[in-house]
């Protein structure tokens, strides 16, 4: 299993709708445990929205002490914009055989999932997307990044230079369609302001 602590700032931070395991990486179950203090209300946002197959979406408020458990390779979900600091612990439980196959494939090919033409994303593309998103969403040790008004043109230019695979990862975070390319990401960022 792997665990991650997630902190969402109260600035409308969200996480685009996705399925955790679409590449056969071994994740079988997702467990979310909320660590927020008392008094969370709907107006605070930050609900987990799950999309059960054949049913209407369900919103789950991140009340302190509440947990959500779902199949990591089936349940589409997202975090709605949050307007209060939101804390959770995310744990993924793995199918050992699928995980071992995915790790062996990553070592041999640098990719997890189908062949190179199947739209999967290389480890290098994932790293490039992560680096770009850190610049977009956070600040480095010198205080640069975070999408300030002065830095948006630089980020737009960097987005236009992303590989197709890296753009696919970034698209999930900025709310672009899954097939969005580098120029689409750049266009979305061009329309943003530092407050967006």
pTM above 0.75, yes or no: no
Question: pLDDT by residue (tens digit) across 143-162?
Answer: 555 556 677 788 889 989 99
Question: Which tokens in the block code for residue 149?
Answer: 């008004």
pLDDT digits (tens, 9 = 90+) for 99-115: 888 888 878 877 666 54
Give me the helices (H) in 9-151, please. Answer: 96-109, 123-137
Separation of alpha carbons 48 and 173, rounded Å: 15
Q: Which residues contact 161 (CB under 8 A, 6 or more apart)?
A: 182
Q: What are phi and psi of 59, to 5 degrees?
A: -100, 135
Would you list the DSSP string of 3-26?
EEEEEE-TTTEEEEEE-S-SS--S
* Average model confidence (pLDDT) across the chain: 83
Question: How far is residue 121 CA from its own chain's centroid?
Answer: 14
User: In the prediction, which pLDDT does 117 show?
Assistant: 43
Token pair for residue 13? 């931070």
Alpha-carbon span 161 to 2, nearest angstrom: 32
80 CB-side CA count, 13 A: 17
Residues of the chain with pLDDT > 90, as a percent, come to 35
Phi, psi dihedral angles at 153 (to 5 degrees): -60, -35
b/e 167-186 (16+ beta carbons within 10 angstroms → b) = bbbbbbbbebeeebbbebbb
């Amino acid at each position: 299993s792997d665990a991650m602590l997630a902190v969402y700032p109260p600035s409308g931070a969200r996480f685009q709708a996705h399925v955790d395991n679409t590449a056969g990486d071994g994740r079988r179950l997702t467990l979310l445990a909320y660590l927020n203090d008392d008094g969370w209300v709907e107006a605070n946002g930050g609900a987990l929205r799950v999309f059960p197959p054949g049913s209407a979406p369900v919103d789950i408020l991140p009340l302190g002490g509440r947990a959500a458990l779902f199949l990591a390779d089936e349940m589409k979900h997202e975090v709605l914009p949050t307007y209060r600091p939101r804390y959770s612990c995310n744990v993924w439980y793995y199918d050992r055989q699928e995980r071992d196959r995915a790790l062996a494939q990553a070592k041999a090919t640098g990719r997890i999932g189908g062949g190179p033409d199947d739209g999967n994303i290389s480890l290098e593309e994932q790293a490039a997307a992560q680096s770009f998103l850190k610049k977009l969403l956070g600040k480095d040790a010198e205080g640069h990044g975070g999408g300030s008004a002065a830095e948006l043109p630089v980020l737009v230019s960097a987005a236009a230079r992303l590989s197709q695979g890296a753009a696919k990862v970034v698209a999930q975070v900025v709310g672009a369609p899954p097939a969005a390319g580098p120029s689409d990401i750049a266009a979305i960022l061009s329309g943003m302001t530092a407050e967006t």
